Chain A
Amino acid sequence: MTKAKTIIEKIWDKNVVHQEEGKPGLLYIDLHLVHEVTSPQAFEGLRLKGRKVRQPNRTFATMDHNVPTIHQNIVKDEISKLQMDTLKKNCEEFGVPIAGVGHPHQGIVHVIGPELGLTQPGKTIVCGDSHTSTHGAFGALAFGIGTSEVEHVLATQTVWQSKPKTLNVKINGKLGVGVTAKDLILAIIGQQGVDFGTGYVIEYTGEAVRNLSMEGRMTICNMSIEAGARAGLVSPDETTIEYLRNRPYAPKGEEFEQATKDWLNLATDEGATYDRTVEINAEEIEPQVTWGTNPSMCVPINANIPNPDQADNENDKNEIQHALDYMGLTASVPISSVTIEHVFIGSCTNSRLQDLEQAASVIKGRKVHPDVTAIVVPGSQTVKLEAEKSGLDQLFKDAGFEWREPGCSMCLAMNGDAVPPGERCASTSNRNFEGRQGADSRTHLVSPEMAAAAAIEGRFVDVRTFV
């Protein structure tokens, strides 16, 4: 009998080209996604050495970080424009397919890969972006790389990798009504810390994960990096297969049936062992709101903001105090008393059609609070079009939300969409770091439903009792 293996080991064994004892393996890359920010220096490196892109057809580019969300094709910032034009020129020169501004497939790189069917189970996927972990939702081994590695993959279609250690995050039980994948991943990071996954690839298992939609699985895999893990994945099942059927780049007809068999065989074998296992009880999880300057600094909606005087040690005390000072918050008051000026619904964590539908379901004819500016940024042109077909855009606009063009937008505020200094934003994105949404901006990470409810009330409210 062959040894029971995890999906992580199966993908590794399938894709390793060369391995010497005690050294990293040379791992073959099945899909290389490229965007405008982390690629210009890599293409320049190729040009200087006279090298080519080894597999342009396994490479796919889009523009997302710099793209304006009002009038996409009018890029006022000259440096942003140069970066976008540079990607277009590089793709033309090296023969790489690109869905740039104006293309019907343009969007956030981690939204378009899955919706086009480029992302598939068993693939090794890299991108010069840490949230590449998103694609793990399909049972792909997907991780972020730096620009030197982008150049390396362009030239060789491989990366040097040490065989990853495996971490099973087993989520038992069912999530409560009104508790989402976003709350789940925030609660896990809150419990386990921002570096518990460092050096590991996480596999999310258990009843709560099986019950998640592909969109929900993408949300938890997306934030694996916020737990320190370069990659997080979910073994493929029928939910995965049904999502991929008829996607533009997925195989068709008989080939799809053959692929389905191969994909389902990749799932972790019964009895396979992991280097480490962490168990989480889904039943206990409540809607979460971050109060601090990293994603582990979160509390359930009905809890108070922590008090540094109750910290376990001096270092934690200083860290809590520093975060409270930056965030302009008072210790020990209810998080639900905190008022906000901005709401951002978007980003590679939460900008898919289902996220927008769930946010919209909270609105029910109500209006955005007069003190709040709220924007919805769909993750891709495809999401935007589908939402507009079903009238979601009108629903948001009638409530007082702005309906924008697709891009990374206010998640990292590179394109000019920023939270002003000292102002506070309820955001469906993934990072609440100092200055992330603009210099001296204050970010609170929440689910799409919690963000929509906060937009209406002007403060954080428990979406479960918001009727």
Chain B
Amino acid sequence: MEPIRQHTGLVYPLNRANVDTDQIIPKQFLKRISRQGFGKFLFYNWRYDENEEPRKDFSLNNPKYQRATILVAGENFGCGSSREHAPWALQDFGFRIIIASSFADIFYNNCTKNGILPVKLTDQEAQQLIKNAEASDYELTVDLEAKKVYDREGFSADFDLAAYQREMLLNGWDDISVTLTHSDKIDQFEKTHVVY
């Protein structure tokens, strides 16, 4: 996967809590057998009406957000199903960073496996970013090395993530090749492990 160290981009604000993976990518698009091409189905039921025309009242349809790379949302983002199609759709649309005050566990993990950086800020900080982005075209910088989020107007916030996940994202490493370096330990383990 593509490494991520420092990223600056346009923020798309989605001021909703508990955005579930059924909203991020509805089930009719889970039938495909490749990883590519899910971006056009992102937030499908919010973006398109029953005639498949873009809904004017859904902000992501504003053409300027075609170049958005940072999404900021309310708490418990990505709850519900384990579908990795959700991060695939966000990534294919162009998002590299998701900011929220909390994330559902499986979604959070799925992001880090795909080179998307999930950033946990406080509720107050996330709400501030949503307000800023709703008010005007708003760019943020996310620095994974320094674990900082900042803008040009003086906003700055620290975030944390597990050292292991940070290392994987910074280097763009693939989990399986790391694990295979421990193959001998798995072999040893299997020799004595009891499973009925």
Contact = CB atoms under 8 A, between A and B. Distances in A.
Contact of B185 (A17, A38, A49): A17
B170 to A, nearest CB: 15
A413 B109 CA distance: 26
Contact of A319 (B17, B81, B186): B17
B135 interface: no
Given A128-B84, A414-B31, A433-B20, 20 more contacts: A17-B182, A23-B163, A26-B185, A28-B190, A37-B30, A40-B33, A51-B176, A54-B186, A129-B81, A143-B106, A145-B82, A145-B106, A149-B113, A157-B190, A194-B76, A255-B196, A319-B17, A414-B28, A433-B23, A435-B26
16 contacts: A37-B31, A40-B33, A41-B35, A54-B186, A65-B30, A80-B31, A147-B110, A156-B176, A156-B183, A194-B79, A195-B75, A198-B104, A199-B105, A294-B79, A412-B22, A435-B45
A228 to B, nearest CB: 6
Contact of B179 (A15, A156, A436): A156
Interface in B15-52: 17-18, 20, 22-23, 26-28, 30-35, 45, 50
B152 interface: no
A148 B27 CA distance: 19
Contact of A17 (B23, B109, B189, B194): B189
A310 interface: no
A264 interface: no
B45 A439 contact: yes
Interface residues of B, number: 51
Interface bracket on A: 35 or more
A38 B83 contact: yes
A435 B45 CA distance: 8
Contacts, number: 169
B85 to A, nearest CB: 8
A142 to B, nearest CB: 12
Contact of A82 (B33, B75, B179): B33
B7 to A, nearest CB: 21
Given A194-B79, A228-B76, A414-B27, A58 B105 contact: no
B175 interface: yes
B69 interface: no
Interface of A: 15, 17-18, 22-24, 26, 28, 30, 37-38, 40-41, 44, 49, 51, 54, 58, 65-66, 77, 79-80, 82-83, 86, 120, 123, 128-130, 143-149, 151-152, 155-158, 160, 162, 194-195, 198-199, 225, 228, 230, 250-251, 255, 259, 262, 294, 315, 319, 412-414, 421, 431, 433-436, 439-440
Contacts of B30: 37, 65, 414
B105 A30 contact: no
Given A23-B163, A41-B35, A433-B20, A151 B176 contact: yes
Contacts of B162: 23-24, 162
A49 B28 CA distance: 29
A314 to B, nearest CB: 11
